[in-house]
């Protein structure tokens, strides 16, 4: 990307730019501002010397990290005061796997909800949950420790769940989750779609330890089909209903080990958000020795 002997295919360059715009749009929420942030990113790239650019092992990773830093600075700046050109950090060789650009059909509902988050919460949520960046990279961008970033991400998730909606009574929430489980067990696409909000969004946390989706899934039909694919019947796999974070969730067991915990946000008797945790590290607590589940979908408080 930097020298005459290092030509990059045009399609790859265009996809790279779209990826940066996707990151900026999720972080800033405004198309024009996102374009400005990406322009600033490239300005910083071409402000480097040839030797500096040649020393960057993964230009896309450097550009992505720089975009994140620029966007966070813009989010943190007082109204009307935007940061000027400057160093974007030394994101050399941070090893982000290439991601495909997000679909243009980004949920405007979710983007609006992100506006209620603090700059750090929004940055961590977008970089961690939406773009599945490594925790160390997210921490470098935000200027916090990985542990602090994990707390910010959880705070952002709680805020998004509560945004603009009255708490759903437990019995209604349980009834919807029971119905979702039943639709998954029966592979009933039509019923599952009917249980989803039109603007439903599903997030999949594999933590880089399992080949899970690395970007959110949007829309009732897409979310339903993704769940049915993820939970397709297999020998030794059982869907239980158990309590997670105080609400009924689907706990997927594969040969007596918990392979996934899937939580749901419900508003107006429709699923608005799906949070699927598949990261083995986060499931360790679920796999400590405990009495066997009953296999009939009964809710258990752990």
CB 166 within 8 A of CB 266: no
- 218 or 89: which leads in pLDDT: 218
Confidence category of residue 302, pLDDT binned at 50, 70, 90: very low
Average pLDDT of span 7-34 = 81
- 3-class SS of residue 166: coil
Q: Any idea what DSSP says for residue 286?
A: G
Helices first, then strands: H and E counts in the chain: 11, 6
Task: Evaluate if residue 164 carries a pLDDT over 60.
Answer: no
- pTM (global) more than 0.85: no
Q: What is the CA radius of gyration of the chain?
A: 21
Of the two residues 55 and 166, the one the predictor is more confident about is: 55
CATH of domain 170-287: 3.10.450.50
**Residues of each domain in the chain carrying CATH 3.10.450.50:** 170-287
Mean pLDDT to the nearest integer, 86-113: 41
CB neighbours of residue 202 within 10 Å:
23
- Amino acid 193: pLDDT: 96
**10-162: CATH number:** 1.20.140
Q: Which range in 113-122, 163-172, 255-264 is most confidently predicted, on average pLDDT?
A: 255-264
Q: Is the pLDDT of residue 142 over 80?
A: yes
| Mean pLDDT within 40-45 | 93
Q: In the chain, list all ranges with CATH 1.20.140.
A: 10-162
Place of tokens 């990290």: 65
């Amino acid at each position: 990307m930097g020298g005459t002997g290092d030509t990059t295919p045009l399609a790859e360059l265009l996809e790279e730019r779209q990826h940066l715009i996707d990151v900026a749009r999720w972080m800033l929420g405004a198309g024009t501002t996102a374009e400005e942030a990406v322009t600033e990113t490239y300005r910083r790239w071409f402000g480097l010397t040839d030797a500096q650019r040649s020393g960057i092992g993964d230009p896309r990773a450097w550009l992505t990290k720089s975009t994140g830093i620029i966007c966070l600075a813009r989010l943190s700046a007082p109204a009307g005061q935007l940061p000027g050109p400057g160093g974007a950090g030394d994101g050399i060789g941070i090893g982000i796997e290439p991601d495909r650009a997000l679909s243009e059909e980004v949920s405007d509902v979710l983007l609006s909800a992100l506006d209620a988050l603090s700059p750090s919460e929004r940055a961590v949520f977008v970089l961690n949950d939406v773009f599945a960046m490594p925790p160390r990279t997210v921490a470098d961008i935000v200027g916090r420790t990985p542990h602090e970033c994990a707390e910010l991400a959880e705070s952002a998730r709680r805020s998004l769940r509560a945004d603009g909606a009255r708490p759903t009574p437990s019995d209604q929430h349980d009834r919807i989750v029971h119905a979702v489980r039943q639709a998954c067990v029966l592979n009933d696409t039509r019923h599952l779609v009917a249980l989803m909000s039109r603007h439903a969004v599903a997030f999949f946390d594999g933590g880089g330890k399992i080949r899970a989706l690395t970007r959110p899934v949007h829309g009732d039909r897409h979310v339903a089909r993704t769940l049915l694919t993820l939970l397709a019947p297999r020998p030794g796999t059982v869907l239980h209903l158990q309590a997670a974070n105080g609400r009924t969730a689907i706990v997927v067991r594969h040969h007596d080990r918990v392979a996934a915990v899937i939580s749901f946000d419900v508003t107006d008797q429709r699923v608005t958000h799906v949070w699927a945790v598949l990261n083995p590290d986060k499931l360790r607590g679920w796999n400590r020795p405990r009495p066997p589940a009953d296999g009939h979908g009964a809710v258990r408080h752990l």
